[in-house]
Structure 1
Amino acid sequence: MKALRDVALPPHSIVEEPSGLVLLAVQRRGVPLFHCRLSVPAGASEDPRAKAGLAQFTADLLRRGTRRRDAHGVDELIEGMGASLLIDVSMDEAALSLTVPADLSQRALDALLEVALEPAYAEEEVAAARRRALSALQSDLDEPSAVAARATIRLGYGPAHPYGHPVHGYRREVETFGREDCLAFHATRFRPRGALLAVVGDSPPSGLLDVARERLAQVRWASEARPTPLDFLELPREPGLRALVLHKPDSTQAQLRIVSPGIPRSSPRFFEAVVANTALGGGFTSLLVDAIRVDRGLSYSVSTRLAMNRQSGLSLFSSFTKNETLHELVDVALEKMGGYAESGPSEDALDKARTYLAGL
């Protein structure tokens, strides 16, 4: 095995402000671009009871107008810098990011902070967003892989777990979303404590921090109120296998997901788990790909992955096959994964996994 080399990080600085906001500044020499990203503790795990999907819904509406300008004005603000505003919601966070030419750094930060922290949530925009969300959820019912993915989350975590529902929620709950729900969620989750603002540019980290602090000085955060702490229950560990069958009469193929408790991102076994998963089914030359796709031709797509969130995670197997060969696919997958759990990967499989992950 090749000797490991130390990773040379670019010049950077990490500072926690008195407000609890963490600032990360990274110098990227020779690149005439400025990137900023704000993440706040407003992920799907924070969805209130009976309001699954509210974090995603609230974040989607950020682009639809602020207290200073309407949705068209926000579009002009972003597009006027030649940029695209990306908004992403995971189980643990909501994040907004922009990349612009370096000389527009202050404008970019101002725009990012305005969109993130000054939403209007106009009634007509909330109503339109609700219609779009309900339409998208209805479309998901026609896509077997989407149905399987949504069911896997609930089965793996259990319905009482903060991670135990799809990010986009359920139709019956999305139907109840209103402007007051958005305002209340934003006021209690878009707060500085637990948030992180990252800025990347050609300037030294100290200069980037000065720019960030100058723009933040103009910002008024919604609230310091904190919601009730989440209860991250231990994941269900049943003594035997459980099966959830969803019948879709018009489907000519069967989707298969196998889920078991995994590990959080903070686990000290993170790297060995990634390597082990790659050898099992996370790479194209892996145990399950060989057994299911190459040797038996049961499916074109076979994979395993570790869905690692901040507090806990899942280990997921994913594949599909013809209805007639579903039983065989289940048998082969369980047999190979059971054997792997007992004996682990071979040295040859480990070498291939490490080489694949290292990009060699």
Structure 2
Amino acid sequence: MKGLVAMNKILKSLIIASTFVSVGANELVDKIEKFKWDNIDVTYIQDDKFPTYNVTIFFADGAIKDGRTKGVTKMMFDLLESGTNRFSLNEIADNLEFYGVSTTSNVTHEFSSYSYSGLAKDVIPTTKKICHIFRDAVYPNQELSKAKKSLIAQRQNLVSNHGELASIAFRSISLKGTPYVSDVRGRLADIKRIKRAYLQSRLKYFRDDVKKKVYITGPRSLLKVKNIITDECGFNAKASFIRRLDTEVKEIKKFNPEKPLIHFVEVPKANQAQVRAGVYIAKKEDPGFENLEFMSQYLGGGFTSILVKELRTKRGLTYSAWATAGMQKDYGRSILSTFTKEETVGQMVQEVVKILKDNSVPTNISMEEIEKVRKAVKGGFAFQFQKPSSFMRQLVSLDNSQVDIKRFLEYTESVDKISQEDVAKTIYAAFPYDKVQIVVLGDKSMKKALSKIGKIKTYSYKNFL
């Protein structure tokens, strides 16, 4: 009883926090300023709470056109700081460390970004250094060789990292026939082929041709970096390319849920079965981020989720299970992830399909569960606005997905309207029980049990290294 009282107090505090922070979110929106620096769109949020800054340079293209050698775009960004025509990797690292700068890059199929942050008083020398890197990076062969050696070892070691290998295999299988099937990191054969000239060519393309946006948070004094970014980074003022795709993908064939199609990835001596399930979601079938986030929390968002209750608490088939689904600019995907012992792999697959089928029927979803999820997602939403930099990250994502900021701010109101019918419909859209792509990774001895419950298609783990 005491636990229930404590939980109720927590939930009430989350609701109150959500109310207050939604007001804060609107205040942040009011602070958004937009500029044009030559042909670069700039979004700025003033934040004087701390003397720090965050700058994100967004590029409107990603790794989708890497060509025959996948992984080039990601390596180009990862090794940006490996050396220029004036400074070595160590000299660049020492300089950035001196100013307390953190840098990170992110590469997807659709877009890429490079972010750096530090103390506001140091933004001028830091931005000059970052621009020098973008303009004059040379990717020294010595550093490229080290990076390739490390990446090759990581790919080869995937055979002993069954969870990661299962997720890579699942992506490849579930996205087959789409432009997004390749791993942005590249596979073994790709990594071995990458040359310095490929990286330099890719960097030149991003500098000269790709449309850019800049997102800045911090004191107003940061805006004095304008001339540095426009004049010293080597960015072409006329760059205008924006990646757009409208791909028609062959619809997945339905199967009998009593006898599902199972993609089995064979790994010698695997001591447990890794299970993944999900589908590619076409842009035209987007259920809306509000429904997808709510459904993800309901189905597989933690220890109170339906998957954990059914697979762990009731049946003891696993220690953990989670599921999520989301859209990007031109497509979306869903993934359900869990694992189990060899002896229970058949039962696990059957239970996963049954859970998806049962929860695609509104009357099987309790209103009590809906209300719990409603409170949880509203409370979690509140914490996204604690810092303007966190809000800016959301803004970058929304801009790329072409979601109006007003819709994001109305999220809690939208959540209040989500019904059992909405959840059931979204579960079937993201995890259709009679179409879902099921991947099981394990030792070949598991095939006997799986063949009794479904049709098996076998792959070697080497296909995914």
Q: TM-score, normalised by structure 1?
A: 0.88
Q: Which secondary structure state, in structure 2, belongs to the residue aligned with residue 38 of structure 1? A: strand
Alignment check: 8 A CA contact 1:41 1:189 kept: no
> Matches of residues 174-189 of structure 1 in structure 2 within 5 Å?
174-189=191-206
1:227 shift after superposition: 8.0
What corresponds to 1:102 in structure 2?
Answer: 120
SS of residue in 1 equivalent to 2:169 = helix
User: 2:234: which partner in 1?
Assistant: 220
* Structure-2 residue corresponding to 1:171: 188
Structure 2 residue corresponding to 1:150, chosen from 138, 146, 168: 168
**Conserved in 1, the CA contact under 8 Å of 2:289 and 2:327?**
no
- The one-letter code sitting in structure 1 at the alignment partner of 2:311 is I
The residue aligned with 1:350 is: 370
Tell me the alpha carbon deviations over residues 309-340 of structure 1, each in whole angstroms, 9 at most, x when there is no partner. Answer: 22101111100000111111111111111121
- Take 2:200 and 2:119, find their aligned partners in 1: how far apart are those partners? 33
Gaps of 5+ in 2: 1-11, 256-260, 381-465
Amino acid at match of 2:341: K
SS at 1:294 equivalent: helix
SS of alignment partner, residue 284 of structure 1: coil
User: In 2, distance between residues paired with 1:62 and 1:223?
Assistant: 21
Q: What whole-Å deviation, never above 9, does each CA across 1:206-263 have from its counterpart, x for those lacking one?
A: x543433444223322696788966552344322354321111211110000111336
Give the 3 Å change call, closer, same or farther, for CA 226–125 of structure 1 in structure 2.
farther
1:1-80 equivalences in 2 (<5 Å) = 5-6=22-23, 7-10=25-28, 11-19=31-39, 21-48=40-67, 50-80=68-98
* 1:141 to 1:189, Cα distance in 2 relative to 1, 3 A: farther
Q: How far apart, CA to CA, are the structure 2 residues paired with 1:265 and 1:197?
A: 29
8 Å contact kept, 1:24–1:197: yes
Map 1:134-283; keep pairs closer than 5 Å. 134-158=152-176, 160-191=177-208, 193-203=210-220, 207-221=221-235, 231-241=245-255, 242-262=261-281, 267=286, 269-283=288-302
- For residue 160 of structure 2, give the secondary structure of its aligned residue in structure 1: coil
Alignment: residue pair count? 354
Question: Identity of paired residues, percent?
Answer: 20
Q: CA–CA distance in 2 between the matches of 1:18 and 1:90? A: 26
Cα separation, partners in 2 of 1:143 and 1:88, compared to 1, 3 Å: same
- Structure 2 distance, partners of 1:267, 1:212, is 38
Q: Given that residues 47 and 217 in structure 2 are in contact (C-alpha distance below 8 angstroms), is that contact kept between their aligned partners in structure 1?
A: yes
After superposition, the Cα gap between the structure-2 partners of 1:93 and 1:33, relative to the gap in structure 1 and judged at 3 Å, is same
Give the alignment of 1:107-118 within 5 angstroms. 107-118=125-136
Query: Secondary structure of 1:103's partner?
Result: helix
> What do the CA deviations read for 1:22-72 (whole angstroms, capped 9, x no partner)?
211111122111111212235232322x21211212112112012331111
* Alpha-carbon distance in 1 for matches of 2:82, 2:225: 27
> In 1, distance between residues paired with 2:199 and 2:279?
34
Q: 2:367 is matched by which residue type in structure 1?
A: E
Asked if 1:306 corresponds to 2:325, the answer is: yes
* Counterpart secondary structure, 2:262: coil
1:81-102 deviation per Cα after TM superposition (whole angstroms, max 9, x unaligned): 0222222323333322222112
In the alignment, is the contact (CA less than 8 A) between 1:109 and 1:212 conserved in 2?
no
2:192 is matched by which residue type in structure 1? Answer: E
Counterpart CA distance in 2 for 1:277 and 1:355 is 14
CA distance in 1, matches of 2:125, 2:222: 14
Higher relative contact order (CA 8 A, sep 6+): 2
- Seen in structure 2, the aligned counterparts of structure 1 residues 225 and 194 have a Cα distance that, compared at 3 Å, is closer
- How far apart are 1:151 and its partner, in Å? 1.1
**Cα distance change, pair 109–116 in 1 and its aligned pair in 2 (3 A):** same
Deviation at 1:191, TM superposition (A): 4.5
| SS of corresponding position for 1:199 | strand
Task: Give the counterpart letter for 2:377 in structure 1.
Answer: L
- Please list every run of 5 or more consecutive structure 1 residues that lacks an aligned counterpart in the other structure: none
- 1:279–1:345 Cα contact (<8 Å) kept: no
Higher mean C-alpha deviation, range 222-231 or range 243-252: 222-231
What is the rounded CA distance, in whole Å, between the counterparts of 1:153 and 1:90 in structure 2?
13
2:449 matched residue in structure 1: none
Query: Whose helix fraction is larger, Structure 1's or Structure 2's?
Result: 2
The letter for the 2-side match of 1:237 is E
The structure having more radius of gyration, on CA atoms, is: 2
Give the deviation of 1:192 after TM superposition: 6.7
Give the whole-Å Cα distance in 1 for the aligned partners of 2:264 and 2:103.
39
| CA distance in structure 1 between the aligned counterparts of 2:312 and 2:275, rounded to whole angstroms | 14
Equivalent runs, 1:299-338 vs 2, <5 Å: 299-338=318-357
Q: Which amino acid aligns with 1:238?
A: I
Q: Distance in 2 between matches of 1:17 and 1:265?
A: 34
CA gap of 1:114–1:105, structure 2 versus 1, over 3 A, is same
